[in-house]
Amino acid sequence: MNCFYHTDKPAIGICKHCQRGLCADCAAIIDDVLACQHRHEDAVHMQEQLTARNLFQSKRVSSAYTRNAIFYGLVGILFAWFGYIQYRFIGIQAIFFMLIGLFLLYAATANYFESRKHK
């Protein structure tokens, strides 16, 4: 493949924006990828910024889910444990606490799996 702008020169890479072959004179390196110099430098830069932001956001979403999973898990265990030891004293009402605990543990598991999806 030859350079799109200089058909006599061999291409060293492809512009990320227009997929055209570029020789050493035409290629500009933007954020570790190639772009047509003075033509698609800005376009590629914006494209890369967007990709980087998406990765960053998905990482943030993932850590939020992990945080939720830990929080629900701890509170869930607390409720289940509270219900368990109170069962002898308050009887049937303790089941209510255990159910809340189980529900929170379920929410924790759901959040945990959701956090893995975003990694």
Q: Min. distance of Cβ 52 from Zn ion in angstroms? A: 20
Three-state SS sequence of 8-40: CCECCEECCCCCCEECCCCEEEECCEEEECCCC
Q: CB of residue 55 vs Zn ion: minimum separation in angstroms?
A: 23
Question: In the complex with Zn ion, which residue's Cβ is closer, 36 or 105?
Answer: 36
Do the beta carbons of residue 105 and residue 74 sit within 8 Å?
no
Residues 4-43 that bind Zn ion (CB under 5 A): 5-6, 15, 17-18, 23, 25-26, 36, 40
CA distance 19 to 14: 5
In 3-state terms, what secondary structure has residue 2?
strand
Spatial contact of 81 and 92, defined as CB atoms under 8 Å apart: no
Smallest separation, CB 2 to Zn ion (Å):
8
In terms of CB distance, is 6 or 118 closer to Zn ion?
6
Least Å distance, CB 9 to Zn ion, is 5
Binding-site residue total for Zn ion (CB under 5 A)? 11
Which positions touch Zn ion (CB under 5 A)?
3, 5-6, 15, 17-18, 23, 25-26, 36, 40
